[in-house]
Structure 1
């Protein structure tokens, strides 16, 4: 346990010196002795050109002792010059050790260098006291730049040094766009937050990238959704790469304001993007392994254009709406539609609304119906939901991302835990989460709303559902809880819709609800459904599933090798997009420079 007289900086310095000595010598045994017996290593692109999380000294040793370039993996990469990152906001500090009441560990950021490839990186450690002294519960290593090819951080000059070569910004920008279109390196499919931030990162790193976006305007992917949609994550942690929201933006940003910001972001970051453009539906992109380029036919506003990028990034988000169709639906006199097509509840004043589902979209629908004077609003909860109040969720998030914090450091900290260890620590704290919302949870149970924090027998709350179900079966409560507790929204639980009658929807237990409108908040198809429709069955079979933790302890196919050369998948939210675009850019940059060969994807399970 850390006491008042213990110097966290000294302990961190001594521990890191030991790790550096072992790494520099390529001594796997001494390197792993810096960890707890059940400690963890998470690595991104340092010990291999992939992501990997490894548990236990034995597991870490087995990985690092593997043969690579005629040596052990640890010796081959040449990890050295590990130093505390004293210039960051993540200096050595104490942290409470989960499950050990009153005990404190030491955590902090560090920097390091690799010999092969010649690169620099950043890392993070969490040390806990043991009988052998302070040992690592978890260490994170992540490549941040290739030596000689660093991402520029200074402002562009704007005015040329040679006064005889003056040009306008418009001329320079037109020349840049022409160069990208003439010799395209990366084609990004999808102009949402993931596509935009990836393209902004690529441009800063000098990689020619073009986005194709199916809608007429940047931001339409948010602008065209239901009117009451807003972010449920606070503005600061939802910031875009290089460009945070203005201080007068609301904490939870509405869809249209967000869409307009995205449009301005594309302009200000000088992203090259074709709107009203899709990959031609009757052709499948084809990769030529000899030329190492794709042939992609794009319908650009009605005109077919053939592109030959070296890399193809799919940033298309979730699949199409999952729409259930029930017997008798054609006889139903009311309206039935998926929540993606909800245009607002004003027209349903005095009407009876039934909402199928119990996630965030369902909550938004119910709140809209109640706010606009529906005669009744009933939520049909088919299975249990992992519900957290907005207050509790925001407190957790802002603990890592306080307003005004350095986002680069905050992202490093937030992503430094191996996912499976993060789930274990979340499970250890689940009692605190339940306690924070205990009154709300009891009120919901009293109204028949079923709650859960388990997935496949593991009780770890929202984080586990994010990793394994892309946040399916979760709900961030922005007000639906009180509407249920106060009787504004009724709950019908544990039933499945069976069929329609003229004025009602009937369930599999024989009960029915009179209805004028039924909204299907039944989610979306898996990410792979979009990919298979675009890429065809042969390439899709190489990819396998996307998302969910694989045998390497990392998210399947997300921002890492997919099993198909030159093809990358970029899913996720704002934080994912902002942080992981760096690693996707580094992998592509390394291939372009000849630093690495294409990396096989982690084996399909």
Structure 2
């Protein structure tokens, strides 16, 4: 038996017949336009009036929560260090696209148009998020950083110090939400000799694109989503690229994932059968995490059969595969680790046939001016 809360009685969202009128007909002294009212709110909230909620992090999660609170009439401010909403997507590597299909990615209140790409490019996602913050009338403090926060037990409120427009502002919300993402922080290993390297080196989050490296050699340390995407982008620009795989990786071919794992809930066929994303989300949320792995194991058993040729060729190339600790595949790996997988949109073929070179079961132990030394002695 599953129950789910739809609304809070007495705090229903203003929609349908109760939607805002937008303007009061008639003649009134001191009337304010919609823009004047929004400007007043922007100038006072956080200064002479305090928000009830402060959300630190203005990516999709922070924006979605802000939209929900806005619809409930809860004063909220979203803090974002980047210059524009959506920059957390725009600032990533050039070739980045969503690996989840469009039916899985709708935001509340404003579903994507029916011609939106199945796999949206990063800049298109960034523009949508920026538009969304404006249309949903969110109080989005861009170019703002959170310096510190502490809870005042006596007053029952938070004291959040932020830096905005060159000065510190203290916010005193009742609730503080941290929405800083799952895997947005660079994991940079300390490697002997890194400072001596004469070429370029950077984390995947700072990868500038492959076009400047045409005809050169590159080493990519890692074998998950970003590593595969970057290896493919480098290969497309005629870069001699080698992937360093330290431990096993789960590979889920995109087409198989969409058909076997997502298709019943998140697909055009699901929509045609009457399962829109609202129903799909409810069905998906109805499975307790404690038993979810048992629902996924059969999916990946079938994937092993369906994509047996790809897996065999990857293993012949030396690539180390896994399907999770209990064979439950990608989603459980995401919940348990937040990493360890690649949704294959083409790079696995490059690895399997050797166009992207591979060294597996090793690590980089030293960097010298011209290259790297691996744990098996290879240079």
TM-score (norm 2): 0.92
Which residue matches 1:468? 336
Larger radius of gyration: 1
| SS of residue paired to 2:134 | helix
| SS of residue paired to 1:305 | strand
Structure 1 residue 319, shift from structure 2 partner: 5.5
Gaps of 5+ in 2: none
2:363 and 2:375 in contact (8 A); partners too: yes
Distance 1:160 1:407, change over 3 A: farther
Q: How many residues align?
A: 367
Aligned counterparts, 1:187-586, within 5 A = 187-280=54-147, 284-317=148-181, 318=183, 320-374=185-239, 376-395=240-259, 396-403=261-268, 404=271, 405-455=275-325, 458-470=326-338, 472-512=339-379
Q: Which moved more, 1:199-208 or 1:418-427?
A: 418-427
| SS of residue paired to 2:186 | coil
| SS of residue paired to 1:459 | coil
2:70 and 2:138 in contact (8 A); partners too: yes
Over the aligned positions, Cα root-mean-square deviation in angstroms equals 1.7
**2:13 is aligned with 1:148:** no
Return the alpha-carbon distance in structure 1 between the equivalents of residues 294 and 55 of structure 2. 35
Cα displacement string for residues 141-197 of structure 1 (whole angstroms, at most 9, x for unaligned residues): 222222222223323221226653753211232244356431210001111000100
Return the alpha-carbon distance in structure 2 between the equivalents of residues 343 and 259 of structure 1. 17
Return the alpha-carbon distance in structure 1 between the equivalents of residues 26 and 263 of structure 2. 48
Cα displacement string for residues 372-421 of structure 1 (whole angstroms, at most 9, x for unaligned residues): 111x2111111001110011122222321223553222211111100121
| SS of residue paired to 1:285 | strand
Structure 1 residue 444, shift from structure 2 partner: 0.8
1:195 and 1:211 in contact (8 A); partners too: yes
| SS of residue paired to 2:36 | helix
Which residue matches 1:572? none
2:265 and 2:277 in contact (8 A); partners too: no
2:324 and 2:330 in contact (8 A); partners too: no
Gaps of 5+ in 1: 1-138, 513-605
Return the alpha-carbon distance in structure 1 between the equivalents of residues 100 and 27 of structure 2. 48
Q: Which moved more, 1:171-180 or 1:322-331?
A: 171-180
1:293 and 1:311 in contact (8 A); partners too: yes
**Comparing both structures, which one devotes a greater share of its residues to strand?**
1
1:332 and 1:501 in contact (8 A); partners too: yes
| SS of residue paired to 1:453 | coil
| SS of residue paired to 1:229 | coil
1:388 and 1:437 in contact (8 A); partners too: no
Aligned counterparts, 1:17-166, within 5 A = 139-154=1-16, 155-160=19-24, 163-164=27-28
Distance 1:335 1:175, change over 3 A: closer
Structure 1 residue 325, shift from structure 2 partner: 2.8
Structure 1 residue 434, shift from structure 2 partner: 1.2
